[in-house]
Structure 1
Amino acid sequence: MLVGSALIAVLASPALAQTAPASDAPATKPAADTGATTPAAAPDDQGAGIGDIVVTATRRETNLQKTPISISVLNSQGITDRHVLSLFNLADGSIPSLRIATFEARQSALTIGIRGIVPYDQNQTARDAGVGVYIDGVALNKTQGLNAALFDIERIEVLKGPQGTLFGRNTEGGALSLVTKAPTGVFDGRMTAGVGNYGSHNADLHVDLPAFYNISLKFDGVYQHQDATVKDPLAGSVGWNYYDRKGGRAAARWQPVDGLTADFAYDYAKDDNTPQYSQLVSYNPNGYNVGTYGGATGTTLQFNGTNCNVAVPATGGVSNPCIAPKAPLVGVHSDRQSVADVGVPQQVSTDITHGFSANLKYKLAPWIELRSITAWRGVSTDQWDNSGGPERVTYAPNATFSRYSLSFLRQHQFSQEFQAVGSIPQFDYVVGAYYYTEDASEYAATPTTNTWNADGTAYTIRSPIVSGAITSANSGYQPGYQFITRDSQASDHNYSVFGNLTYTPAGLDIVHLTAGGRYTKDKRHGTLSIVNGDTTPNNAINGVFSFSNEVNRFDPMLNLAVDATRDIHLYAKYATGFRAGGANDRSQSFNAFGPESVKSYEIGAKMDFWNHRARLNLAGYIMDRSNTQFDFDLYDTATGSPTINSHIEQTQNAGNSKIRGIEADLTVKPFPQLTLTGSYAYTYWKAPSAVNSITGGLPQQLYIVYTPTNAASGSIDYVTPVHIGDASVRLHLDGNYASSQYSFQLEPTKTDASFVMNGRLALADISVTDHNKVTVSVWARNLLDTTYIYRRSAANSSPTYNYNGTTLVSTSYSGILGDYANYNPPRTWGLELSAKF
Structure 2
Amino acid sequence: MLLLAGAAMPLLMAAPAQAAETTTTNTGTVGGTAAAVPADSADVTAGSQPLEEIVVTATKRETNLQKTPIAISVVNSQALKDRHVESLYDLADGGVPSLRVATFEARQSALTVGIRGIVPLDANQPAREQGVGIYVDGIYLGRQHGLNAALFDVDRIEVLKGPQGTLFGRNTEGGALSIVTKAPSGQFALRATGGIANYGGYNGDVHLDLPAFAGFAIKVDGIVQHQDATTNDPEPGSTGWNFYNRRGVRAAVRWTPVHGLTDDFSYDNGYDANTPFYSQLLNFNPNSCVAGSQSASPNCSLPGTAYTTLTGTVKPLPPGVIVNGDSRMKVADIGVPQRKSIDKTHGFTNILKYTVSPALELRSLTAWRGVDATQWDNSGGAHRVPVVTLTAACTATAPCGFSRYSLADLHQRQFSQELQAVGSIGIVDYVAGLYYFNEHVSDDAATPNSKGAIATLNGAGQVVGATYVDIPFCTASTPAFVGEAVNGCSIDRASEVKSKSYAAYGQLTANVTDALHLTVGGRYTHDKKKGVLHYFRNVNYDTNPTVAAANGYQPLDQSWNRFNPMMTLAYDVSPAVHAYAKYSTGYRAGGASSRTANYQAFGPEDIKAYELGLKTDFFQHRARLNLAGYIMDRKNSQVDISFIQPAAGSNVNVLRTINAPGITKIRGVEADLTVSPVDRLQLTASYAYTYTDIPAVPITYTAGGVSTTVPQKFYIVFTPRNAASGAIDYSIPLGGSGTSLRFHADANYAQSTQAFDQFALHNDASFIVNGRVSLADIPLRGSTVTVSAWARNLFDEQYVFRRDPSNSLPAGPTTSVVNGSIANVLGDYGNFNAPRTFGLEASIRL
Letter in 1 for 2:469: T
- State the partner residue of 1:491: 498
* Alignment of structure 1 residues 313-352 onto 2, 5 Å: 317-318=309-310, 322-333=313-324, 334-352=326-344
Instruction: Measure, in 2, the Cα distance between the counterparts of 1:439 and 1:82.
Output: 36
**Structure 2 CA distance for partners of 1:480 and 1:510, relative to 1, 3 Å:** closer
Letter in 2 for 1:332: V
Instruction: Measure, in 1, the Cα distance between the counterparts of 2:35 and 2:409.
Output: 42
> Aligned-pair distance for 1:800?
3.4
Q: Deviations over 1:67-88 (max 9, x none)?
A: 1000001100000011101011
> Aligned-pair distance for 1:646?
7.8
Instruction: Measure, in 1, the Cα distance between the counterparts of 2:444 and 2:153.
Output: 34
- State the partner residue of 1:367: 359
Which one of the candidate residues 528, 534, 538 is aligned to 1:529? 534
Q: Within the alignment, does 1:608 sit opposite 2:617 as a pair? A: yes
Q: Deviations over 1:170-207 (max 9, x none)?
A: 00000001110100000000100100100001111000
> Aligned-pair distance for 1:753?
0.5
Are 1:780 and 1:829, in contact at CA under 8 Å, matched by a contact in 2? yes
Which one of the candidate residues 513, 517, 521 is aligned to 2:522? 517
Which one of the candidate residues 362, 368, 377 is aligned to 1:376? 368
- State the partner residue of 2:594: 585
- State the partner residue of 2:281: 280
Instruction: Measure, in 2, the Cα distance between the counterparts of 1:499 and 1:693.
Output: 43
Gaps of 5+ in 1: 1-12, 31-37, 292-313
Letter in 1 for 2:226: H
Q: Within the alignment, does 1:247 sit opposite 2:259 as a pair? A: no
- State the partner residue of 2:711: 699
* Alignment of structure 1 residues 562-711 onto 2, 5 Å: 562-633=571-642, 648-655=654-661, 656-692=663-699, 697-711=709-723
> Aligned-pair distance for 1:782?
0.3
Q: Within the alignment, does 1:395 sit opposite 2:388 as a pair? A: yes
Which one of the candidate residues 461, 467, 470 is aligned to 1:461? 470
Letter in 2 for 1:597: D
Q: Which deviates more, 484-493 or 538-547?
A: 538-547
Q: Deviations over 1:250-288 (max 9, x none)?
A: 000011101001000000000000000000111122345
What SS does the corresponding residue of 1:90 show, helix, strand or coil?
helix
- State the partner residue of 1:184: 185
Q: Deviations over 1:609-663 (max 9, x none)?
A: 10001100000000000011122348999xxx99999873222222221100000
Are 2:384 and 2:807, in contact at CA under 8 Å, matched by a contact in 1? yes
- State the partner residue of 1:546: 555
Letter in 1 for 2:824: G
Instruction: Measure, in 2, the Cα distance between the counterparts of 1:206 and 1:329.
Output: 50
- State the partner residue of 2:406: 405
**Structure 2 CA distance for partners of 1:618 and 1:345, relative to 1, 3 Å:** same
Between 1 and 2, higher relative CO (CA 8 Å, sep ≥ 6) is seen in 2
The percentage of counterpart residues that share the same residue type is 52
Q: Within the alignment, does 1:356 sit opposite 2:348 as a pair? A: yes
TM-score, normalising length from structure 2?
0.88
- State the partner residue of 2:397: none
Are 1:441 and 1:490, in contact at CA under 8 Å, matched by a contact in 2? yes
- State the partner residue of 1:301: none
Which one of the candidate residues 494, 501, 506 is aligned to 2:508? 501
Instruction: Measure, in 2, the Cα distance between the counterparts of 1:201 and 1:273.
Output: 15
Instruction: Measure, in 2, the Cα distance between the counterparts of 1:645 and 1:772.
Output: 58
Q: Deviations over 1:707-735 (max 9, x none)?
A: 00000000000011111511111100000
Instruction: Measure, in 2, the Cα distance between the counterparts of 1:61 and 1:460.
Output: 61
What SS does the corresponding residue of 2:803 show, helix, strand or coil?
strand
Which one of the candidate residues 766, 780, 797 is aligned to 1:786? 797
Letter in 2 for 1:466: T
Are 2:477 and 2:488, in contact at CA under 8 Å, matched by a contact in 1? no
**Structure 2 CA distance for partners of 1:643 and 1:529, relative to 1, 3 Å:** farther
What SS does the corresponding residue of 2:806 show, helix, strand or coil?
coil
Instruction: Measure, in 2, the Cα distance between the counterparts of 1:803 and 1:526.
Output: 26
What SS does the corresponding residue of 1:207 show, helix, strand or coil?
strand
Instruction: Measure, in 1, the Cα distance between the counterparts of 2:665 and 2:307.
Output: 38
Letter in 1 for 2:176: A
Letter in 2 for 1:330: V
Are 1:17 and 1:52, in contact at CA under 8 Å, matched by a contact in 2? no
Instruction: Measure, in 1, the Cα distance between the counterparts of 2:796 and 2:153.
Output: 28
Are 1:25 and 1:80, in contact at CA under 8 Å, matched by a contact in 2? no
Are 2:408 and 2:486, in contact at CA under 8 Å, matched by a contact in 1? no
Q: Deviations over 1:676-709 (max 9, x none)?
A: 0000000000013212479562222211100000
Q: Deviations over 1:431-477 (max 9, x none)?
A: 0100000000011110110001114432000124536999xxxx999
> Aligned-pair distance for 1:773?
0.9
Gaps of 5+ in 2: 1-21, 293-305, 395-399, 457-464, 703-707
Are 1:316 and 1:809, in contact at CA under 8 Å, matched by a contact in 2? yes
**Structure 2 CA distance for partners of 1:270 and 1:594, relative to 1, 3 Å:** same
Are 2:29 and 2:39, in contact at CA under 8 Å, matched by a contact in 1? no
- State the partner residue of 1:33: none
Are 1:185 and 1:208, in contact at CA under 8 Å, matched by a contact in 2? yes
**Structure 2 CA distance for partners of 1:486 and 1:339, relative to 1, 3 Å:** same
Letter in 2 for 1:756: I
Are 1:513 and 1:559, in contact at CA under 8 Å, matched by a contact in 2? yes
TM-score, normalising length from structure 1?
0.89
* Alignment of structure 1 residues 735-754 onto 2, 5 Å: 735-754=747-766
> Aligned-pair distance for 1:139?
0.4
Instruction: Measure, in 2, the Cα distance between the counterparts of 1:374 and 1:711.
Output: 38
Instruction: Measure, in 1, the Cα distance between the counterparts of 2:819 and 2:578.
Output: 62
Which one of the candidate residues 746, 767, 778 is aligned to 1:755? 767
Instruction: Measure, in 2, the Cα distance between the counterparts of 1:63 and 1:476.
Output: 51
> Aligned-pair distance for 1:150?
0.6
Are 1:803 and 1:809, in contact at CA under 8 Å, matched by a contact in 2? no
Letter in 2 for 1:377: R
Q: Which deviates more, 19-28 or 362-371?
A: 19-28
Are 1:20 and 1:29, in contact at CA under 8 Å, matched by a contact in 2? no
Structure 1 outlier segments of 4+, above 6 Å = 21-26, 467-470, 475-478, 540-544, 634-637, 641-647
What SS does the corresponding residue of 2:187 show, helix, strand or coil?
coil
Instruction: Measure, in 2, the Cα distance between the counterparts of 1:41 and 1:214.
Output: 36
What SS does the corresponding residue of 2:167 show, helix, strand or coil?
coil
Instruction: Measure, in 2, the Cα distance between the counterparts of 1:476 and 1:459.
Output: 29
> Aligned-pair distance for 1:168?
0.5
- State the partner residue of 2:746: 734
Q: Which deviates more, 388-397 or 476-485?
A: 476-485
- State the partner residue of 1:303: none
Are 1:88 and 1:101, in contact at CA under 8 Å, matched by a contact in 2? yes
- State the partner residue of 1:93: 94
Are 1:738 and 1:754, in contact at CA under 8 Å, matched by a contact in 2? yes
What SS does the corresponding residue of 1:509 show, helix, strand or coil?
coil
Aligned length: 779
Q: Deviations over 1:85-143 (max 9, x none)?
A: 10111111010000000112420210000000000111011110000000111000111
Letter in 2 for 1:372: S
What SS does the corresponding residue of 1:458 show, helix, strand or coil?
strand
* Alignment of structure 1 residues 107-506 onto 2, 5 Å: 107-288=108-289, 317-318=309-310, 322-333=313-324, 334-393=326-385, 394-397=387-390, 398=394, 399-455=400-456, 456-464=465-473, 466=475, 479-505=486-512
Instruction: Measure, in 1, the Cα distance between the counterparts of 2:651 and 2:532.
Output: 23
Instruction: Measure, in 1, the Cα distance between the counterparts of 2:486 and 2:528.
Output: 33
What SS does the corresponding residue of 2:91 show, helix, strand or coil?
helix
Are 1:630 and 1:654, in contact at CA under 8 Å, matched by a contact in 2? yes
> Aligned-pair distance for 1:23?
7.8
**Structure 2 CA distance for partners of 1:24 and 1:121, relative to 1, 3 Å:** farther
Letter in 2 for 1:793: D
